[in-house]
Amino acid sequence: MKSKNLFISLVLIFLISAMPFSVVKTNDFGSTGSVEAAQSPIAWLVAGISTDKSIYCVDDSIKVYYKLSSINGKAYSLYYDLVEYLPDGTGHYLVYNEKMYTNAVYTFTTNVGNYTGTRRLELIIRSTEYLIEGNWKCSYTVSNCNTKKIMSSSSKYDSVEDVIKTIEQSDSSLNITKLSYVKYLHVGDFLRGIHTGEPISDAVIIVAHFLWEMAECLSDRGLFDGVLYVSVKNKSPSIGLIIISDKKEVSNPWNYLICAGEYFLNYPLPQSSIIDQRKVYTLEKCQWTIDNRFDVFYLSYSEKQNNVKNNILDSLGGCNYCCNKIYIIEE
């Protein structure tokens, strides 16, 4: 049961918190989560929608990414609408009654105009036959600002590499592997960096494998950069994955979710307990933006006597309320 709880926590981190909504789709064309649909042969389809940024200045260009994934691997085609709701609640179609195919990423590009405030996007799948889950809504904000001024503003970092160098220098206990080198190594190389003088607990091994396989997937896609690390302080281990995305570079937000999905669909749950009852571990997720340019996602798994996470955050300027404690394993 405890092993199941740990993995449920990890699933929630990567598959739910990456986008602002995660609900079962219901629309005017019928309830896709109805009892009738659930009792019929189900094609489990997962809808998703995202934007290339969360905040835009007036007259910025926006890219909307959306996808319908087939979990069983079969191909399907369904009709859909893409609707935008303005801050006053009025809505209009961006796309109306067009066909989309499963497992293909679609992109809609437009100009946000000068209507400021928070807007909502909704992907409506026209189906009463299939069970459709996932993130079918998202929101973004248009502010009265100038993107060119923001992007040209001063920053102590000129590139992702500068951010990584700061992380490397934040704590002498860090043993860092860059994502670009992951494909040349093995998870065993990663685990060998944990020298506590005691056997490595099953909990640490399980999370290390998760982080490694996530890093391999991201590295293969080549659109995110960052680091994996291990640290040992006071005989207490800490492992982490830090993903850094430069807003000045083109990136596809689907790679992050695709990698998380591939891992959880293929990784078997262990049969025995993964909990080392002698220790207290904390799993934390942090997300923030540095200098309006570098988006940072940070997942750390540490024993309570290891403070390397705090040192990393301090070196990058810190962040207010950007971290959530996901799971604690207690004696």
Which residues of the chain have a pLDDT value below 50? 1-2, 4, 7-42, 250, 264-276, 330-331
Same domain, 197 and 83: no
Same domain, 23 and 85: yes
DSSP codes joined into one string, 238-282: EEEEEEEEETTS---THHHHHHHHHHHHHPPPPSS----TT--EE
Single-letter amino acid code for the residue at 233: K
Over pLDDT 90: what percentage of the chain? 19
* Per-residue pLDDT at 318: 81
Whole-number Cα distances in Å, 88 to 16, 27, 61, 119? 27, 21, 21, 9
- Is residue 312 assigned to a domain? yes
Same domain, 259 and 206: yes
- Is residue 10 assigned to a domain? no
Same domain, 168 and 313: yes
- Is residue 7 assigned to a domain? no
Q: How far apart are CA 157 and CA 149, in angstroms?
A: 16
* Per-residue pLDDT at 152: 55
**Long-range contacts (CB closer than 8 Å, 24 or more residues apart) made by 76-79:** 76/43, 76/45, 76/101, 76/102, 76/130, 77/101, 77/102, 78/45, 78/125, 78/126, 78/127, 78/130, 79/125, 79/126
* Per-residue pLDDT at 252: 52
Q: Point out the domain boundary residue: 124, 151, 178.
A: 151
Same domain, 212 and 123: no
- Is residue 23 assigned to a domain? yes
Same domain, 208 and 137: no
* Per-residue pLDDT at 196: 63
Same domain, 121 and 187: no
* Per-residue pLDDT at 204: 80
Same domain, 129 and 172: no
Could you report the per-residue pLDDT of 281-295, keeping only the tens digit for each? Answer: 777 888 888 887 888
Token pair listed for 63: 């890219």
- Is residue 12 assigned to a domain? no
Say if residue 75 is exposed, middle or buried (CB neighbours under 10 Å; 0-12, 13-18, 19+). exposed
Q: Point out the domain boundary residue: 125, 151, 177.
A: 151
Same domain, 125 and 82: yes
Q: How far apart are CA 284 and CA 300, in angstroms?
A: 5
pTM equals: 0.54
- Is residue 254 assigned to a domain? yes
Range of the domain at 81: 19-151
- Is residue 227 assigned to a domain? yes
* Of 130, 73, 66, 76, nearest in space to 102 by CA: 76
Residue 72: which CATH number? 2.60.40.3880
Same domain, 82 and 218: no
Same domain, 31 and 147: yes
Q: Point out the domain boundary residue: 151, 181, 199.
A: 151
Q: Give the residue carrying structure tokens 């909307």.
A: 64
* Per-residue pLDDT at 259: 66
* Per-residue pLDDT at 69: 82
* Per-residue pLDDT at 41: 41
Considering its fold, how many domains does the chain have in total? 2
Same domain, 56 and 201: no
- Is residue 146 assigned to a domain? yes
